[in-house]
């Protein structure tokens, strides 16, 4: 397991892990993620938080009711808002593979006004940016989201945004980078 040398965490050695840490590591590695890239090597220093967060993350990433494309679009907007280097680095290729147009991702990364070809993309962007900008979502945007996705998926979208904001905060506060990351998508 590699760790960014600028990270604020002490080096983590899986061979010296506590039983609680080992349980979290085993669950993460045997789950749908299959790797520790992202905030997990940070959270592992608090195994109980790590366990709860990684389970919430697995739900938010794979079971919200949103398509992978829309989930990844929401994650990219979050990464750009927080300027979370590792979050963008990890999710950018996943988003492109899921169908988010490269030009749209670049507009989001640079803060340009996005041009949407898909109404669902525009709705996810509107919902996400309203929530981040005003700390609320207007009645009109909320109604459009519920009409399009239903109440449960709209609730899950809010959970996804909150989870990935937590990921971004963790990565930023503790100076974490993704495995293999040599470039930064945002200026520091």
- Tell whether 58 and 109 lie within a shared domain: no
CB neighbourhood size of 146 (10 A): 14
Tell me: pLDDT of 63 over 80. Answer: yes
Q: What is the DSSP letter of 17?
A: -
Do the Cβ atoms of 42 and 87 come closer than 8 Å?
Answer: no
Over residues 128-141, mean pLDDT: 98
Q: Is there a domain that residue 79 lies in?
A: yes
Q: In terms of residue numbers, what domain contains 52?
A: 17-62
Tokens 């009711």 appear where? 65
33 shares a domain with 81: no
Q: Domain for residue 98, yes or no?
A: yes
Same domain as 78, residue 46:
no
The yes-or-no verdict on residue 5 having pLDDT over 80 is: no
User: Do 48 and 106 fall into the same domain?
Assistant: no
Reduce the DSSP state of residue 45 to 3 states and report it: coil
Summarised one tens digit per residue, pLDDT across range 138-168 is: 999 999 999 999 999 999 999 999 999 999 9
**Same domain flag for 75 and 162:** yes
In a domain, 178, yes or no: no
Q: Kindly tell me if the per-residue pLDDT of 186 is higher than 70.
A: yes
Count other Cβ atoms within 10 Å, centred on residue 65. 14
Instruction: Give the model's confidence band at 34: pLDDT under 50 very low, under 70 low, under 90 confident, else very high.
Output: confident
Two structure tokens written together for 181: 């990351």
Instruction: State the Cα–Cα distance between residues 122 and 29, nearest whole angstrom.
Output: 34
Q: Are residues 72 and 140 located together in one domain of the fold?
A: yes
**46, part of any domain:** yes
CATH number at residue 114: 1.20.1290.10
> pLDDT band at residue 188, thresholds of 50, 70 and 90?
confident
Task: Report residue 71's pLDDT band, with 50, 70 and 90 as the boundaries.
Answer: very high
- Kindly report, residue by residue over 76-94, the tens digit of the pLDDT: 999 999 999 999 999 999 9
Residue 117, in any domain of the structure: yes
- Number of domains the chain is built from: 2
Q: Judge if 129 and 82 occupy the same domain.
A: yes
**77 and 41 belong to one structural domain:** no
Residues 78 and 57 in one domain: no
């Amino acid at each position: 397991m590699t760790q960014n040398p600028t990270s604020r965490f002490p080096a983590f050695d899986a061979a010296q892990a506590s039983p609680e840490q080992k349980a979290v590591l085993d669950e993460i590695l045997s789950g749908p993620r299959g790797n520790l890239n992202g905030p997990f090597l940070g959270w592992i220093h608090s195994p109980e938080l790590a366990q709860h967060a990684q389970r919430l993350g697995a739900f938010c990433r794979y079971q919200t009711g949103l398509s992978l494309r829309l989930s990844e679009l929401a994650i990219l907007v979050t990464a750009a808002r927080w300027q979370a280097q590792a979050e963008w680095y990890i999710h950018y290729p996943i988003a492109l593979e899921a169908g988010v147009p490269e030009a749209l991702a670049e507009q989001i990364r640079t803060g340009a006004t996005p041009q949407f070809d898909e109404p669902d993309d525009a709705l996810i962007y509107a919902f996400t940016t309203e929530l981040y900008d005003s700390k609320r979502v207007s009645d009109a945007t909320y109604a459009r989201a519920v009409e399009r996705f239903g109440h449960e998926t709209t609730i899950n979208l809010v959970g996804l945004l909150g989870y990935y904001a937590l990921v971004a905060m963790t990565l930023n506060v503790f100076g974490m980078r993704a495995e293999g990351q040599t470039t930064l998508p945002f200026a520091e």
